[in-house]
Amino acid sequence: MTGLLATARERWGAWDVGTRPPHSTVLLAMKREAAKATTAFLLDDRGEVVAVAKAARSGPGDAVLEKEAAAARSWHRNDWPLVRSSCPRVLDLTGDPGGRVLWLSAVPGTSMLVSYLGAGHLRRRGAVTADFARAAAWLDALQEQSQGERYSLDELQQLMDGTFAAYGGQDPAVQELFADARTALAASCPDGVVSTAVHGDFWMGNLLVAQGRVTGVVDLELSVERGLPMTDVLKLPLSYALYLDTAGRCRPRPGTWAHLVGFEEVFLGTGHLARAAAAFVHGRMQRLGLEPASLRAFLPLVLAQQAVLQRHDPVAADGYAQLLGVLARGRRTSWVWSPA
């Protein structure tokens, strides 16, 4: 970490960060051993975070950082006010192949995941409602500022067909779910869907909160300027569901993916978590001009997209296959298949 600190001090003036220079570094614990990059916070002499450094651990890590740098620069080029105020900008991309370092400006706030994992948080309806309301305010602003050309129905059908083909799968119930999704898409979106900027990994860990609102959104690796807005709309409640076992809210069932039970509670249940997720999703859909019935198309699509993205991780890929199977067999009891 001393090398990172020395580099940052040397380049600080050229980066024009506008804060006090870095005084020390703190290494962020990696989420898993397979992480392709190590993240370090650079602190000033008062202990305030003034920049972030992501150091590749391998050649594949280089590609991840280069992709994030390109995506962040792309978002900032659009000059969307929300992005300027709450998303990190690229300060530099340094280092040799196999050891690239991405330098980012700091954004304020504490990860929403911290409070989510806190004792009793998920039992308090008000706390859960506040999480979704804060995320909704930020996402609504992003989608409003970045609205672009509509996706035609034909484009949406091509996206869906390509995703379902990439997923594959042999479960007859899931294939029937996909067939129903195609029917629902054609019936509910004859005029297509508006396009917006999409973060791509819009979950609690990437949302920073301060003073009762989302003040920062980080990790732009999967972000695009023009994408399907329902990707972000569904990613948050999906993540809220899949971390319930980690938070101690529910216990995994033997022989199933550990996160499956949380998915069932949020997407197939009727408790306050399911109601909060449904209100969040339906509220965003209304703003986007989407019929509630279109959710029957978009939820299977987003789950299949996530399964394809996780193919490098056999456990997660199989887990998403289990989610699709459970949804296929239990969807008639889900709020997704009920009127808003």
With a pLDDT cut of 70, the percent of the chain lying above it is: 97
pLDDT band at residue 74 under the 50/70/90 scheme: very high
Give the dihedral sign, CA 252/255/259/262: negative
- H/E element, 287: helix 272-288
Whether the CB-CB separation of 91 and 103 falls below 8 Å is answered with yes
At 33 the pLDDT is 43
Token duo for residue 95? 């280092």
Report whether 108 contacts 208 (CB < 8 A). Answer: yes
- 24 pLDDT higher than 60: yes
CB 22 within 8 A of CB 47: no
CA distances from 29 to 41, 75, 142 (A): 11, 27, 30
Please give the domain boundaries of the chain with CATH numbers for all domains: 2-106 (3.30.200.20), 111-337 (3.90.1200)
Given a cut of 70, whether residue 9 has pLDDT beyond it is yes
123-to-16, 23, 119, 253, 272 alpha-carbon distances in Å: 44, 40, 9, 21, 9
- The 3-class secondary structure across 96-154, one letter per residue, is CCCCCEEEEECCCCEEHHHHHCCCCHHHCHHHHHHHHHHHHHHHHHHHHHHCCCEECHH
pLDDT at 192 exceeding the cut of 90: yes
258-301 confidence digits (pLDDT tens): 999 999 999 999 999 999 999 999 999 999 999 999 999 999 99
Model confidence at 31: pLDDT above 60: no
What does the pLDDT read at residue 269?
Answer: 96
- The percentage of residues in the chain with a pLDDT greater than 90, rounded to a whole number, is 90
Residue 108 above 90 pLDDT?
Answer: yes
